[in-house]
Amino acid sequence: MFNLIKFEILKQKKMFSILGVLFLLMQAFIIYKTSILSPLNINIMENGILLIFISYVLFIFSSLLTFSKDINSTDRSVVFMTPYSGFTIVSSKFLTTIILGTLLFSTTFIWFVANAFYVDPRIGSRILEYFQNGRFIITLKTLMLAFVSIGSFFALVFLSIIITKTFLSKLKFKTLIVIIVMSILSKIFNLIFWDNLSDISSLNAGIYIIIIASITIFMLWISGWLIDNKTDF
């Protein structure tokens, strides 16, 4: 598994170099602006947030595109020629995305906070105030929930791409087909899981997280099963 993940990360080198350059440029811009202007520089940080947002979109887009190319193009079939099970292969791609995504998030977060301090040191005390009153735990829980939800989103897209390749490969407009499949799948999952669970009140975030994580693993398992038994490469 390690081997596969290493291999997948190597593939993403290009995207990360582009991101790195963009952030370096932004950083240079920030340093320049703070050195010539005095207070009221929070506007710069808005640009920073914009850049971070763009990088997330870029990352999601690039990951999904890479996965789609890996599955559909005949010239990148190295990984599917290996003696690993389909589940191992999809999980490795999934884990790579999660690892890189987490890295991206942490790096941009730290970068943002560091620059916020640099631009206006008073922000530090304001942030610390905000995080008293147990807000820290809630923020953490929200982050975890967001984390697994995004993970399940990736798993959903992966599964849709595989279903499209397995059963619907003769159709045109692949992207559209994938989106349709995704919508159908998420409707099905909602029907099976949420409708049954909406009865149970007082569901806390912890259970939600476990449920979503289980669904994610289930989707990955189905993807693996399809790759081993139904998909032609």
Partner 1 sequence: MENLIINNLTKGYFKKKALNNFSYSFKKGIVYGLIGPNGSGKTTLMKTIYGLVKPTKGTLSMNHNKISYKTRKNIAFMPTEDVFMPNLMVSEILKFYNNTFEDFSLEKSHKILENMKLPLDEKIETFSTGMKMRLKVTLCLSRNVELYMFDEPLNGIDVISKDLIKNTIISMTSENSTIVISSHALNEMELILEQVLFLNEGSLIRNINLEEFRDTENKSLESLYWEVYNV
Binding site for partner 1 (CB under 8 A): 3, 7, 10-11, 13, 74-78, 80-86, 228-233
Residue pair 224/87 in contact (Cβ under 8 Å)? The answer is yes
Of the pair 129, 228, the CB lying nearest partner 1 is at: 228
Residue burial 159-192, b: 16+ Cβ < 10 Å; e: rest: bbbbbbbbeeeeeeeeeebbeebbeebeeebeee
- The least distance separating partner 1 from the CB of residue 230, rounded to whole angstroms, comes to 6
- 67 or 105, CB closer to partner 1? 67
As measured in angstroms, the least distance from the Cβ of 23 to partner 1 is 22
Q: How far is CA 132 from CA 22, 111, 126, 129, in A?
A: 34, 22, 11, 6
Residue closer to partner 1, measured from CB, 5 or 58: 5
Give a three-class secondary structure readout of 200-224: CCCCCHHHHHHHHHHHHHHHHHHHH
CB of 222 to partner 1, least distance (A): 16
Distance CA 69, CA 8 (A): 13
Q: How far is the CB of 167 from partner 1 (least distance, A)?
A: 12
Q: How many angstroms separate the CA atoms of 103 and 211, rounded?
A: 24
> Given the complex with partner 1, which of 92 and 115 has the nearer CB atom?
92
CA-nearest of 73, 93, 25 to 174 is: 73
Of the candidates 135, 99, 196, the residue with the CA atom closest to the CA atom of residue 126 = 135
Q: Could you tell me the two tokens for 29?
A: 């811009």
C-alpha Rg value of the chain to the nearest Å: 21
Residue 17 CB, nearest approach to partner 1 (Å): 12
Least gap, CB of 158 to partner 1 (angstroms): 18
Would you say 53 or 167 has its CB closer to partner 1? 167
Considering the complex, state which of residue 11 and residue 141 has its C-beta at the smaller distance from partner 1: 11
